[in-house]
Structure 1
Amino acid sequence: MLEKIQEDISLASRHIEVLRAVASHQPIGIIKLSELLTVPQHRVRYSLRVLESSGYIRASSAGAMVTPKAEAMFLHLNEDIEEIIQILNRMKRP
């Protein structure tokens, strides 16, 4: 039952890792991101597609760049993760 949640968290973690790399090295392309993160190009491409469709990055001729939505997400990321951790802690057996 929790396997799907674990997979989703792992995927979200990769998306955030890609987004952080884009923010730090923008504009940046798939090949450079793949080398930087040591993640296969097809996975980087998928993360970029998800991030772009969600409005966190935009494509340019020089490579991916973050949007103001990504910058706002980074401001609240720790608090959002902490909320998730609290929910998971409430699920634990007493």
Structure 2
Amino acid sequence: MIDRLEKEVDMLERHLQVLKMVIESEPIGIVKMSNETGYPHHKVRYSLRVLEEENLIEPSSQGAITTERTQEFVDELDDKLDEIVNKLESMKIEEAAEVEN
């Protein structure tokens, strides 16, 4: 169960790193992103597809570029991540176990 969560977090980290590269270097292609991040081409391609499905990037003839929605997503990202961290913190069992002892 936790292994699956870790894999999801790793994938989210990759998606966000790819998005950051697009924001900083648009237009940017798969080969350059793969070379700079060390991620294999197929993983970069998958992240780009996910980001495109979320309307955060779009393809161009020179490479991936941001969309009108990108800045709004970035502006909300920290708050959303904080909410997730708080939820995970509240799930810790060791704190509950200490109270019972």
Tell whether the structures are fold-level matches, with TM greater than 0.5. yes
Indicate the structure (1 or 2) with the bigger Cα radius of gyration: 2
Structure 1 residue ranges, 4+ long, deviating more than 6 angstroms after superposition: none
Q: For 2:7 and 2:38, how far apart are their aligned partners in 1?
A: 19
How many matched pairs? 94
Residue number in structure 2 paired with 1:74: 74
**Superimposed CA distance per residue, residues 24-80 of structure 1 (whole angstroms, 9 cap, x where no aligned partner):** 000011001111212111110111011111111000001100112121111111111
TM-score, normalization by structure 1: 0.94
Structure 2 residues without counterparts, runs of 5 or longer: 96-101
Point out the more displaced range, 13-22 or 69-78. 69-78
Structure 1 residues without counterparts, runs of 5 or longer: none
Point out the more displaced range, 78-87 or 68-77. 68-77
User: Percent identity over the alignment?
Assistant: 37
Residue number in structure 2 paired with 1:89: 89
Point out the more displaced range, 19-28 or 4-13. 4-13
TM-score, normalization by structure 2: 0.88
Question: Residues 1-94 of structure 1: matches in 2 within 5 Å?
Answer: 1-93=1-93, 94=95
SS of the aligned residue for 2:35 comes to helix
Q: For 2:37 and 2:23, how far apart are their aligned partners in 1?
A: 13
